[in-house]
Amino acid sequence: MLYQIPSWLLATLVLFVLHQWEWISLPVAVLLFALLLVKDAVLFPLTRAAYEDRSEHGPEALVGARAVAEQPLDPTGYVRIGSERWQARMARGEASAAAGEWVEVLAVERLTLRVRRASEPRTSR
């Protein structure tokens, strides 16, 4: 709700000026401000989710996902997760992966996935 304070202040200023210029009466200004507050209170549960930290989104959500190597990963190459193509690098100490082989995402380093050969194939996330 703190994000709404600037809009409340701006609305108060605009309504005050409109009242001073006699374009609206005081009861109408108060009613409009009350409607603004009610609107914000009603929409708060819907908009709150947009401001919450959701770590299951973005590249970090790919950790644990299975991907298919599009080309040999020796040690770098490209993998496909669903319809997305990602640059990947084999984890230290891991053997290379052949094209078409399943790999598992261990970490995300900028826009490169750190992967290892998957123990068993399954569908990607």
**Residue bearing the bigger pLDDT, 16 or 120:** 16
Mean pLDDT score, 63-89: 94
116 or 49, greater pLDDT: 116
pLDDT, one tens digit per residue, over 1-31 is 778 899 999 999 999 999 999 999 999 999 9
pTM to 2 decimals?
Answer: 0.52
Domains held by the chain: number? 2
Residue 59: strand, helix, or coil: helix
What pLDDT score was predicted for residue 35? 96
Residues 45 and 64 in one domain: no
Position 19, amino acid: H
pLDDT score at 49:
77
Contact between 29 and 19 (Cβ < 8 Å):
yes
CATH of the domain at 85: 2.40.50.140
Residue 124's pLDDT band (cuts 50, 70, 90): very low
Query: Does the residue 68 lie in any domain?
Result: yes
- Closest among 34, 45, 113 to 77, alpha carbons compared: 113
Domain that holds residue 77: 59-117
Same domain, 6 and 32: yes
Q: State residue 97's pLDDT score.
A: 93
Shared domain for 70 and 113, answered yes or no, is yes
Q: Specify whether 32 is located in the same domain as 63.
A: no
